[in-house]
Structure 1
């Protein structure tokens, strides 16, 4: 894919997030280095990180926030943190046609091929492809590969929705669960959950941090990170999953903080179905399923 870039050292942070958000600001979005190219000129971007160390302190902090036990291998969802700086770098690139503000994470699929050991060094690559059609705009797939030891250890696809004009083609159906599990156990989520998860993940999107910053972007108050919700859901059943596994989720309704949600999981023929729902009306915040990889 054209436009490959390599990030050296420890990239990302608040500077990259701000740079990714600047194209949403009038006048500023016309400045050189900020101005975006037209969507019809976007042929894709690939960014990579080489020799990324899987650090014990970061793994343990993430596991504690997301409900995983402390182990010598990383939680199933942890490698997303290694890819997140690449996501923001792509969004901040002038060649990427859309500002980060307004992109909605609607689906995420992870396939683990083997366990990644704490202390291991891995290479991480994320590729953003050309927009594909959606009924409400366009979808952009960010495909990540984590490799080490001579092969691919972990893969994921994060799908973002950009509302507005669509592109040519027939929209593909996303993940649906015709009969998602409901009820189950209730989780009471504190007001500072978004700030806590931002501290371990690096994802300091303002919609997750404070009521005022969330309201400025159209939410009644701060919302939980979708990838925290997925991680917490996986943590509840991880000890029943095979080492090689695929976990797909669709993010439905935002989880307002503070708040209470219900989590339920059900054994299926080749894995598990699970859902995070509202205790009041069973409307879904997240639906997901696992299958053997």
Structure 2
């Protein structure tokens, strides 16, 4: 595996420009056999606080698990804009995310990251793949994540067709929070995460991609859901979620979390019952 060791986090805007310019060149059936690494990174306290406030976490020197996703995200984009990556970045849909934390990480720690792609596979709506990310402190694995992306298209021959299911118009069980997602949350989250996809920024740019209004980032919704459970989670856990219908901004969502023997089940819906996020936190 070829390792691309970077000296600093790559700037996202030039990568997005590269992605747009080279989109027609991305085609194929294999993932690049490469990884991107970034070593010994200090945490910016002001950036951490800005992230915590946008996502509803209390201000603390403990890094939210989803914050580490933001720090690793530029490496993921660098990998997805490689010429050998089989799909154009524009059009990939983030459909699921799993994060495992092994212990709390504080802002004084110096972080090292590694990202690579794996598991290209058929899907009823096209093909999907995983981006695997890891974070270490002094060689100790403290965080890992799997982000699953879907490339829509004609499914490979023999792929089972997924049956369409209508959402149940009911509030989630065990609702722990009713959260307002204002119309500018896409821009605010984009400012701290660097993810300035046009579908999140303004209704006019979102309409170019078929959405009636801007939509909330899936990782903002996951972060906001975990923030609603702050103080009820142990030091080590795994948070698995699937992203369902997009949250059209502005909106109010109901965050449901039902306690189980080994953690929490998660169910985030609109007030009309439309599902936006499902998943679980396991200890």
The TM-score, its normalising length taken from structure 2, stands at 0.91
CA 170–124 in structure 1, closer or farther in 2 if over 3 Å, else same? farther
| More off after superposition, 41-50 vs 137-146 | 41-50
Q: How does 1:75-224 map to 2 (within 5 A)?
A: 75-167=64-156, 181-182=172-173, 184=175, 185-224=177-216
Contact 1:20-1:100 at 8 Å conserved across structures: yes
Q: CA deviation at 1:106?
A: 0.4
2:15 alignment partner in structure 1: 16
Q: Over residues 88-133 of structure 1, what are the superposed CA-to-partner deviations in whole Å (9 max), with x where a residue is unaligned?
A: 1111111101111110000000000111110211110111125111
The TM-score, its normalising length taken from structure 1, stands at 0.88
CA 167–142 in structure 1, closer or farther in 2 if over 3 Å, else same? farther
Task: Select the residue among 245, 260, 266 that pairs with 1:253.
Answer: 245
CA 240–191 in structure 1, closer or farther in 2 if over 3 Å, else same? same
1:289 alignment partner in structure 2: 280
Distance in 2 (CA, whole Å) between partners of 1:90 and 1:81 is 15
Distance in 1 (CA, whole Å) between partners of 2:124 and 2:106 is 41
| 1:53 is aligned to 2:47 | no
Distance in 2 (CA, whole Å) between partners of 1:239 and 1:170 is 43
RMSD: 2.1
Distance in 2 (CA, whole Å) between partners of 1:3 and 1:47 is 9
Contact 2:179-2:255 at 8 Å conserved across structures: yes
Contact 1:275-1:287 at 8 Å conserved across structures: yes
Contact 2:113-2:134 at 8 Å conserved across structures: yes
Task: Select the residue among 219, 222, 225 that pairs with 1:230.
Answer: 222
The answer for unaligned runs of 5 or more in structure 1 is 30-34
Q: How does 1:35-50 map to 2 (within 5 A)?
A: 35-36=25-26, 38-50=27-39
